[in-house]
Amino acid sequence: MQVRLRIRRYNPEIDQAPHYEDYAVDAEPTDRVLDLLNQVKWYQDGTLTYRRSCAHGICGSDAMRINGVNRLACKILVKDLGERITVEPLLGLRVIKDMIVDMEPFFEHYRSVLPFLVNDEAPPERERLQSPEQRQRFDDTTKCILCAACTTSCPSYWANDRYVGPAAIVQAHRFIFDSRDRAGRERLKILGQQMGVWSCRTAFNCTNACPRDIKVTQAIGEVKQAIAAGRVD
Ligand code: SF4
Ligand code: F3S
Ligand code: FES
């Protein structure tokens, strides 16, 4: 089949403003959008710029808007989109060039929630033990690949980019509910501030956008409950 690929292009060195360009690309229905972008870059226009690395939905580097919805280009298939496909950069982050957005504000929010295990107690002789039930408590949020599809689909984040955003809350959740961690209260204090979880209006865009099928809104709700309850188990 032939696909008409419409791509939002922007090169700050020559363009006054972003514009769309169309490319005709031969494709198999089982091709991924990343394959189409590669075809354009390798055989039609080498200036096309986008991030990609693993090509298997693991590294999180190729999140973009595809037919108006945030997805990973390496996961979504042509047969699920049809013969006309529009590709645009993520919303809410500054476009550097074509699909490349400035991820620094996103990672700044990520770093603000202490996204690492904190435990200053002397380690036991062997490992810090955890029951399967304790591990299950935060299993869902361990799947996050920091692709930013959730945060850049959130209307609250579009309205105010000081909102920490769903991805950072998911990362905080992963440690807040880890029985080995000791910084839960500190993270809840950070997320209890005005630009924390209370900026979430339960729009659910984040959950719908997540390529890892993480129950993002539910995780945010659990953090809200923990803050409201005044402590975390
Ligand atoms: Fe991406 Fe999902 Fe993680 Fe958000 S929660 S950054 S959408 S993997
Ligand atoms: Fe935004 Fe998700 Fe809340 S889209 S408003 S973070 S439920
Ligand atoms: Fe790694 Fe798509 S290229 S997630």
Q: 197 and 224 in contact (C-beta within 8 Å)?
A: yes
Domain count, the chain: 2
The residue segments making up the domain with residue 156 are: 104-229
**Which ligand 1 atom lies nearest to the CA of residue 63?**
1
Contact 229 CB / ligand 3 (< 6 Å)? no
Contact 172 CB / ligand 1 (< 6 Å)? no
Q: 36 and 5 in contact (C-beta within 8 Å)?
A: yes
CA of 44 to the centre of ligand 1 (A): 32
Domain boundary among 101, 124, 145: 101
Residue 114 and residue 215 in one domain: yes
Q: Are strands 84-88 and 69-72 parallel, antiparallel or unpaired?
A: unpaired
Residue 97 and residue 151 in one domain: no
- Nearest Cα residue to 88 out of 133, 54, 37: 37
Q: Are strands 63-66 and 69-72 parallel, antiparallel or unpaired?
A: antiparallel
Residue 83 and residue 140 in one domain: no
What burial class does residue 168 get, using C-beta atoms within 10 Å of its C-beta: 0-12 exposed, 13-18 middle, 19+ buried?
buried
Residue 109 and residue 90 in one domain: no
pLDDT in tens, the chain (233 residues): 999 999 999 999 999 999 999 999 999 999 999 999 999 999 999 999 999 999 999 999 999 999 999 999 999 999 999 999 999 999 999 999 999 999 999 999 999 999 999 999 998 999 999 999 999 999 999 999 999 999 999 999 999 999 999 999 999 999 999 999 999 999 999 999 999 999 999 999 999 999 999 999 999 999 999 999 985 44
